[in-house]
Structure 1
């Protein structure tokens, strides 16, 4: 991380000064470079100087960890995402809420547990959290729209813990933190924790904020961590194959599912989407930042990974701030990701000669027509692919895999018409002369829907 470092450092120092952040810690993780970290300011605690090992509260970034625990349970057959809550937890009310709706904040559940937690600063324990469900509201109909709920993720954390037979913190450490080497991420602040502050709007004074223990609401916002750990976590969320190539924590296909937009947070301005526990922040030109923001008394955090464009493998960034009002701090994470790509682009891998297409598919290669539009079928990276002729180069192609027992029937595994079948029709010599993709006919010449060649006299 050399070429972009001066640009990253200047951006971070500018935000720390302009937003008046007592302590700022930032990091960038890349699969093709050494990690980069920077701290600016002071820890605010005696005997614990600010440095890369300083621990900040990450707030709702915790939700991404809880979401991964729930998705692990699904992948291991312990639940289905469309299961009702009461299929796994004994609850006095709201048992009809589904796991999927809770993960995507579309269950209509009220934002916080029963009571004025942010007045009393006393969070419920596990038994109280469940018992009080009879006193909370469904503020919106199921699936009506996005409505953020800390209570929902508290319930998801309880669900994952019960299915695994431990506490949420125990299960998280065993199944996520230890396998990914996130050794500084913990539910407890510890001796390296910085002080969180409320900085006065009208002077340079600041007052310390309390360290609130969230109890049973911990799965929504309890965690503390370093910027380095969080940048690595962000890279995992965006590109798990680069961070966890063996899939020890979660299969890449499952994170693909989690990153698919389930809803938008504003129906008139589609600037943010929400998947299964993940915020999706489009950046234009088929680039999206994936992760979460966090806020707790005295702290703000932004933790995102980058997908698409010229992003190098495993690119993630984190910005952790010891001010509860410095909103420019979490926004900085998006600038760090962009600057990293602009000023230190990924190395260009050389092209090399590969194996030709199998004989069974050579007659498929080339140009085909369907619905009046031209398509190009090709063989790359060991698979049959297709794209609309003239499509932008950064638009991913459709990719096909033959069914195990039917080589002339292929499943679309990625891209356009994912899940649909491509059927090949051959002539007596074995050459493919017609195809049907998602039942639409593909021919070598441009034809009407009744089969007439438009170029014929």
Structure 2
């Protein structure tokens, strides 16, 4: 692990999945400890959305207003399909959430900027003005998408994750804490690039966009299920639209060419964590990296996946 990531990641875990099995490793944390997944949670929400599509519970043309109490506001007319491909015209974050002030608080004190309830999220979304049509990455969009799909199913987002994904795939450490009190024993606490402790990023509203936690064993099992097609909503991986610069997007999942091979991936970043999951679907290989320090691991993930794939296809 240290040879792969260097000295800037003292607490980190990794998984490599091939057609011949999976391997996991850890540094400074046990293999069952749960990490913040950050925006890999958007990929999970994409799976749950695609699964609900397949069940006929929602359609790509279903609007947020049909599933959430948004009243007659611009956000109510936004479709689920547009959110999944980051084409919703929703801003990254709602102005009503005062993101600049929250970011300053994060820098100064390590405070969690995403502790809102679902009720608070709805109030913020009612005040949102839509942006010009373009590809626009939106945390707000995926927060609303996840809660809208859960509403269509008649449950909460946390329960949807448990019922539709964690239990069927045996992901014992996979969960969505709404408050720090809901963290499980052994939950890893992240740090900034300089080593300062950061508050856990928990929040009911935030869950679908970045609030899921899981262990490296969970992520290895999820990656294997994505590769063999047994994961719910696996069609979320299939690219359906251009994203930018030759990159394609499915339901949150990005596909690009790297080293002459197509890689489907998503990364994540919170105040104290960086994560990356990538799959070479043609080779049947995958890599997951999770670090409890806010130093990016994307470069290491792509490099390790190329290495694992090269060994698997010999």
Question: Match of 1:339?
Answer: 307
Measured after TM superposition, the shift of residue 147 of structure 1 is: 0.8
Aligned to 1:38: 25
Q: Equivalents in 2 of 1:343, 1:222: separation in Å?
A: 34
CA drift at 1:67: 1.3
Which ranges in structure 2 are unaligned for 5 or more consecutive residues?
106-112, 178-182
How far residue 212 of structure 1 moved from its aligned partner, in angstroms, is 2.5
- Displacement of 1:152 after TM fit? 0.5
Partner of 1:116: 98
Q: Structure 2 CA distance, aligned partners of 1:344 and 1:76? A: 35
Q: Which moved more, 1:70-79 or 1:57-66?
A: 70-79
SS in 1 for 2:218: helix
User: Residues 288-317 of structure 1, C-alpha deviation per residue, up to 9 Å, x if partnerless?
Assistant: 221310001110000111123xx1x3x221
State how far apart, in whole Å, the 1-side matches of 2:64 and 2:18 are: 38
TM-score (norm 2): 0.87
- Between the aligned partners of 1:72 and 1:15, the Cα distance in structure 2 is 35
Greater strand share, structure number: 1
Match of 2:188 in 1: 194
Taking the aligned partners of 2:154 and 2:201, their CA distance within structure 1 comes to 26
The alignment yields a C-alpha RMSD, in angstroms, of: 2.0
Q: How many residues of Structure 1 are paired with residues of Structure 2 in the alignment?
A: 296
Conserved? CA contact 2:15–2:216, under 8 Å: yes
Matched, 1:62 2:41: yes
- What are the Cα deviations for residues 185-223 of structure 1, in whole angstroms up to 9, with x where unaligned? 1223411222211132xxxxx211111322212111011
Q: Is the 8 A contact 2:38 2:274 kept in 1?
A: yes
**Helix, strand or coil at the partner of 1:73:** helix
Q: Say yes or no: does 1:175 pair with 2:164.
A: yes
Query: CA contact under 8 A between 2:38 and 2:211: conserved in structure 1?
Result: yes
Distance 2:271 2:302 in 1: 23
Q: 1:122 & 1:302 partners in 2: Cα distance? A: 21
1:319 matched to 2:306? The reply is no
Aligned residue in 2 for 1:259? 238
For normalisation by structure 1, the TM-score amounts to: 0.61
1:292 maps to which of 252, 255, 266: 266
| Contact kept in structure 1, 2:18 and 2:312, CA below 8 Å | no
Q: 1:227 and 1:184 mapped to 2: Cα distance?
A: 9
User: Which has the higher Rg, Structure 1 or Structure 2?
Assistant: 1
1:17 shift after superposition: 2.1
Q: Tell me if the contact between 1:81 and 1:98 (Cα under 8 Å) persists in the aligned partners.
A: yes
Structure 1 residues without counterparts, runs of 5 or longer? 1-11, 43-49, 201-205, 347-457
- CA shift, 1:36, in A, is 0.9
Q: Is 1:16 aligned to 2:1, yes or no? A: no
Q: Kindly tell me: are residues 134 and 323 of structure 1, through their superposed partners in 2, closer, same or farther at Cα, counting changes over 3 Å? A: same
Q: Report if the CA contact (8 A) 2:52-2:58 is conserved.
A: yes
Mapped partners of 1:159, 1:240: distance in 2: 28
Distance 2:288 2:62 in 1: 34
How far apart are 1:283 and its partner, in Å?
Answer: 1.6
Contact 2:263 2:281 in 1 (8 A): yes
Could you report, residue by residue, the CA deviation over 1:384-410 in whole angstroms, capped at 9, with x for unpaired residues? xxxxxxxxxxxxxxxxxxxxxxxxxxx
Tell me, in whole angstroms, the C-alpha distance in 1 between the residues paired with 2:311 and 2:201. 40
Shift in Å, 1:146? 1.5
Runs ≥4 residues deviating over 4 A: none
Task: Tell me what 1:441 maps to.
Answer: none
Measure the CA separation in 2 of the matches of 1:167 and 1:304: 28
Q: What are the superposed Cα offsets for residues 62-121 of structure 1, whole Å, 9 maximum, x if unpaired?
A: 111111111122111122112222233331322211111100101111001332243463
Conserved? CA contact 1:56–1:225, under 8 Å: yes
In structure 2, the residue matched to 1:229 is 218
> Comparing both structures, which one devotes a greater share of its residues to helix?
2
**How far apart, in 2, do the equivalents of 1:180 and 1:16 lie?**
29
Q: Deviations over 1:321-361 (max 9, x none)?
A: 0111x22x232222222111223436xxxxxxxxxxxxxxx
1: CA distance between counterparts of 2:83 and 2:301? 26
User: Judging changes above 3 Å, is the alpha-carbon distance between structure 1 residues 228 and 333 closer, same or farther for their aligned structure 2 residues?
Assistant: farther
